[in-house]
């Protein structure tokens, strides 16, 4: 039997309807939720991402501001701007789109954002909160992946999860979230000698590598939940993930598509984080 599809588009619709309802309540009470987005430079992909984030805010009643700066903006000027947004009570979330121009240190910029407004969950403080199991903002992509896994109704507790990829924004926080949900977690990466040995034992696989066909049908345990974080192009220029969807869908129990899977969920969890920041959670 082919795998059941976990649609990020559908799950996003449900979650965004809830965000819109709660945002309307905050607005009626006089504190509309606010997100400040900063884009430095002209990176084409970043422009698309930022446009999608701003539109998603408008669709759900979150007030967003977009500040665009030339690639020549100095690090000092960017830090001054972030300090002003930190002090602005109408701003509940601050997002500086990555990548930044090479002369700006992203770590310095991320850590200049107030922990209470770090809706990307990228700061060292937010990472530490996740590590320690304390409340705080969770990075949007792994947070969205957890919602997708939960949506299957399969209990995560006691399952073996394999995360492929160890980035600070996806792989590492994903592993910690699964661990917090009582999964047994293996993290695989580019130096793992036999990736298939690990993935074949996994009840849950999260592929976050950025390389297509990283996970093929022969590497998947029948019935597994397969979450594809990849965003790649195939030889025809078509968007595809890290998973060989056509092959793996015959083996897995659940699978996320690309597009229409993790992508929309990342933006949805940004909305959730911004809303919860405004709610004071
Ligand atoms: N660039 C690519 N993805 C992201 C993201 O989720 N947040 C930020 N700030 N920059 C990105």
CATH number at residue 250: 3.40.50.720
For the segment 177-206, the average pLDDT, to the nearest whole number, is 98
Using CA atoms, how far apart are residues 164 and 245, in angstroms rounded to an integer? 16
Percent of the chain with pLDDT over 90: 99
Q: Residue whose CA is closest, atom 11 of ligand 1?
A: 98
Q: In this structure, what is the dihedral angle of CA atoms 57, 63, 69, 75, given to the nearest 10 degrees? A: -100
Q: Which of 114, 148, 179 is the last residue of a domain?
A: 114
State if residue 39 touches ligand 1 by the CB under 6 angstroms criterion: no
Residues 244 and 203 in one domain: yes
Environment class of residue 235 by beta-carbon count within 10 Å: exposed (0-12), middle (13-18) or buried (19+)?
exposed
Band (74; pLDDT cuts 50, 70, 90): very high
pLDDT value, residue 229 = 98
The answer to whether the CB of 137 falls within 8 A of the CB of 93 is no
Q: Kindly give the number of the ligand 1 atom that is closest to the alpha carbon of 96.
A: 9
Question: Is the Cα torsion angle 97, 43, 46, 176 positive or negative in sign?
Answer: negative
Q: Residue whose CA is closest, atom 8 of ligand 1?
A: 97
Give the domain range for residue 217.
Answer: 139-263
Residue keyed to tokens 């047994």? 184
The answer to whether the CB of 245 falls within 8 A of the CB of 276 is no
Residues 259 and 149 in one domain: yes
Residues 211 and 169 in one domain: yes
pLDDT value, residue 4 = 98
Give me Rg for the CA atoms of the chain. Answer: 19
Q: What's 97's domain CATH number? A: 3.40.50.10860
Band (281; pLDDT cuts 50, 70, 90): confident
Question: Is the Cα torsion angle 57, 63, 69, 73 positive or negative in sign?
Answer: negative
Using CA atoms, how far apart are residues 129 and 46, in angstroms rounded to an integer? 28
For the segment 164-180, the average pLDDT, to the nearest whole number, is 98
Residues 101 and 143 in one domain: no
Based on the structure, what is the number of domains in the chain?
Answer: 2
In which element (H, E) is residue 150 found?
helix 140-150
pLDDT value, residue 20 = 98
> Mean pLDDT in the chain?
98
Residue at 176 is within a domain: yes
CA of 265 to the centre of ligand 1 (A): 13
Residues 150 and 236 in one domain: yes
Say how many CA atoms lie within 13 Å of 275 toward its Cβ.
Answer: 25
pLDDT value, residue 239 = 96
Residue at 14 is within a domain: no
Residues 6+ apart with CB under 8 A from 20: 59, 60, 61
Residues 36 and 97 in one domain: yes
Using CA atoms, how far apart are residues 114 and 62, in angstroms rounded to an integer? 19
Q: What is the pLDDT of residues 132-150, one digit of tens each?
A: 999 999 999 999 999 999 9
Residues 164 and 255 in one domain: yes
Q: What is the pTM for the complete model shown?
A: 0.97
State if residue 96 touches ligand 1 by the CB under 6 angstroms criterion: yes
Residues 110 and 164 in one domain: no
Q: Residue whose CA is closest, atom 1 of ligand 1?
A: 98
pLDDT of 1 > 80? The answer is: no
Residues that are catalytic: 53, 97, 120
What is the 3-state secondary structure of 194-220? CHHHHHCCCCEEEECCCCCCCECHHHC
Residue at 13 is within a domain: no
Q: Kindly give the number of the ligand 1 atom that is closest to the alpha carbon of 169.
A: 6
For the segment 33-59, the average pLDDT, to the nearest whole number, is 97
Q: Residue whose CA is closest, atom 3 of ligand 1?
A: 98
Q: What is the pLDDT of residues 21-32, one digit of tens each?
A: 999 999 999 999
For a substitution probing ligand 1, which of 97, 142, 231, 264 has the most ligand atoms within 8 Å of its CB?
A: 97
State if residue 140 touches ligand 1 by the CB under 6 angstroms criterion: yes
Band (274; pLDDT cuts 50, 70, 90): very high
Tokens of 10: 């559908």
Find, among 33, 110, 98, the residue nearest to 271 by Cα. 33
State if residue 268 touches ligand 1 by the CB under 6 angstroms criterion: no
Residue 134: count of CB within 10 angstroms of its CB = 10
């Amino acid at each position: 039997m082919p795998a059941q599809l976990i649609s990020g588009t559908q799950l996003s619709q449900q979650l965004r309807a809830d965000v819109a309802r709660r945002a309307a309540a905050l607005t009626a009470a006089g504190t509309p939720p606010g997100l400040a987005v900063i884009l430095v430079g002209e990176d084409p992909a970043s422009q698309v991402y930022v446009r999608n984030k701003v539109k998603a805010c408008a669709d759900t009643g979150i007030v967003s501001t977009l500040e665009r700066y030339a690639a020549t903006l100095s690090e000092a000027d960017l830090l001054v701007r972030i300090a002003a947004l930190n002090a602005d009570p109408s701003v509940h979330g601050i997002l500086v789109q990555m990548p930044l121009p090479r002369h700006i240190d992203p770590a310095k910029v991320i850590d200049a954002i107030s922990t209470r407004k770090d809706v990307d969950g990228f700061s060292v403080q937010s990472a530490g909160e996740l590590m320690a199991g304390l409340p705080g903002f969770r990075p949007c992509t792994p947070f969205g992946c957890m919602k997708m896994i939960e949506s299957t109704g399969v209990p995560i507790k006691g399952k073996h999860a394999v995360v492929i990829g160890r980035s600070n924004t996806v792989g590492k926080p994903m592993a910690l979230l699964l661990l917090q949900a009582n999964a047994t977690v293996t993290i695989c990466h580019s130096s793992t000698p036999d990736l298939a040995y690990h993935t074949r034992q996994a009840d849950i696989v999260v592929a976050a590598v950025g390389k297509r066909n990283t996970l093929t049908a022969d590497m998947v345990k029948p019935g597994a939940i397969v979450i594809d974080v990849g965003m790649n192009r195939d030889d025809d220029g078509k968007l595809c993930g890290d998973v060989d969807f056509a092959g793996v869908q015959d083996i897995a129990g659940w699978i996320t598509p690309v597009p229409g899977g993790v992508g929309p969920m990342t933006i949805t969890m940004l909305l959730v984080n911004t809303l919860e920041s405004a709610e004071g959670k």
